Amino acid sequence: MSRLCLLLCLLATAWAGDAPAIAPPGQGVVADPAAAANGIAGSDRGTVGRAPTAGNSAANVPAVPTPGQLSIAFNTGGPQGLSSAVSLLLIITVLAVAPAFVMMMTCFTRVIIVLGFVRRALGTQTLPPNQVVVGLALFLSLFIMNPTIKQVHKEAWEPWQKQEITDVQALENAKGAVKGFMLKHTRKSDLALFIHLAKEERPKSAAEVSFLTLVPAFVTSELKTAFQMGFIIFLPFLVIDLVISAILMSLGMMMLPPVVVSLPFKILLFVLVDGWTLVIQGLAASYA
C-alpha cells in the first residue's frame, strides 16, 4: 500500500512539472520562450494574447477585442444619415400610400366616377373594360393636373435636386402647390362643414386651412360635382329608354326587354354627337 502511494506521488509530481502555467483571466497563455525568441506567433502554438516580441511587428498580431468593447458598424449610406434598410422601408411606405394620394388629392375621383356613369348610362356593363376606363382616367388626370405638376417640379423638385432646400422645405413647397389646387375646387360649404366638425377656429386666409381638414372637404366636393355631371349624362339616355319602352308597350311586346332594343339607339346617339369628346371636354372645362 505504501509503495502504491509513493508511485502515485511520483506520477503527480512529474505531471505538475510538465503542465503549462495557467494565466489569469484576461491574459493569454505565454508561449514557449524558445519559440518567442525565434519570432513564432503565439497563435501558431495554440496560444492567444502574447505580446509581440522584437522579431514580430504589431501588424502581424491579430487584434483581440476585450470584453465590453465590442462595436458594430451600421451602414449609414442613406439620406440624412439613415441606414439603407430604413430608407427602403420609407420608399415602400410611400409607394403603398401613393394610390390613396392620387385618388384623394387629384381630379382622379371626379374623372373615374363620370366615366363610370357614361358606361352605365349606355347600358354596356363591361365595355369599355375596367382597365381602359382606369387608364383613361389616369392619363386624363395627369393632363388636367399638368399645371400643378409643373409647379411642384419648379418649386420643390428642382431646388431639392440642386440641394438648395432641405427635404422638409421641398415637402412643404409641394404640399403648398397641391393645397392651392384643392382650395380652388373645394366648395366653401363643404370646407366650412369640416372646419366645424374639427372644432377649429375660422381661418383668416386660405393658408391657415389645415391640410387634414381640406382633403375630406375636397373629396366631398369632387363626389358632389361628379354625381351632378353623371345626372346630366343620364338624361338623354333615359329619354331614349322611355321612348323605346312606350313603343314596345303600344305594340304589345311586353315580354321584350326595352334595354335590348334601346342599346343600339343609345350607342348610335353617342357616336353621332361624338360623346367621348364631349365628356372629356366637359371634364377638362370643369377644372378651368
| Cα separation, 271 vs 117, whole angstroms | 16
Average pLDDT over residues 96-109: 82
Whole-number pLDDT of residue 201: 82
Residue 217 near residue 194 (C-beta atoms within 8 A): yes
Spell out the SS3 assignment of the chain: CHHHHHHHHHHHHHHHHHCCCCCCCCCCCCCCHHHHHCCCCHHHHCCCCCCCCCCCCHHHCCCCCCCCCCCCCCCCCCHHHCCHHHHHHHHHHHHHHHHHHHHHCCCHHHHHHHHHHHHHHHCCCCCCCHHHHHHHHHHHHHHHCHHHHHHHHHHHHHHHHCCCCCHHHHHHHHHHHHHHHHHHCCCHHHHHHHHHHCCCCCCCCHHHCCHHHHHHHHHHHHHHHHHHHHHHHHHHHHHHHHHHHHHHHHCCCCCCCHHHHHHHHHHHHHHHCCHHHHHHHHHHHCCC
204-237 pLDDT, tens per residue? Answer: 877 788 888 888 899 999 999 999 999 999 998 9
Of 57 and 108, which is predicted with more confidence?
108
- Average confidence score pLDDT of the chain: 74
Whole-number pLDDT of residue 115: 92
Of 124 and 3, which is predicted with more confidence?
124
pLDDT > 90? residue 97: no
Whole-number pLDDT of residue 129: 87
- Amino acid identity of residue 43, one-letter, is S
Of 54 and 217, which is predicted with more confidence?
217
Give helix 258-272 / helix 108-122 axis angle, nearest 10°.
130
Whole-number pLDDT of residue 255: 79
Whole-number pLDDT of residue 83: 60
pLDDT > 70? residue 86: yes
10-53 pLDDT, tens per residue? Answer: 544 445 444 444 444 444 444 444 444 444 444 444 444 444 44
Q: Residue 265: which of 239, 230, 246 has the closest Cα? A: 239
| Cα separation, 243 vs 231, whole angstroms | 19
Average pLDDT over residues 270-288: 89
- Statement: the pTM of the whole predicted model exceeds 0.85: no
Residue 200 near residue 210 (C-beta atoms within 8 A): yes
| Cα separation, 64 vs 21, whole angstroms | 21
pLDDT > 90? residue 114: yes
Whole-number pLDDT of residue 62: 47
**Set of cell numbers at residue 13:** 509530481
Q: Where are the domains of the chain?
A: 83-233
Whole-number pLDDT of residue 288: 78
| Cα separation, 175 vs 209, whole angstroms | 12
Q: Other CB atoms closer than 10 Å to residue 124's CB: what's the count?
A: 14
Average pLDDT over residues 118-142: 88
pLDDT > 90? residue 261: no
Q: Residue 185: which of 113, 106, 114 has the closest Cα? A: 106
Whole-number pLDDT of residue 36: 41
248-260 pLDDT, tens per residue? Answer: 888 887 777 878 8
Radius of gyration of the chain (CA): 40
pLDDT > 70? residue 285: yes
Calculate what percentage of the chain has a pLDDT beyond 90.
11
Say which residue the cell 371636354 belongs to. 281
Calculate what percentage of the chain has a pLDDT beyond 70.
71
Q: Other CB atoms closer than 10 Å to residue 244's CB: what's the count?
A: 20
144-171 pLDDT, tens per residue? Answer: 988 888 888 888 888 888 888 887 888 8
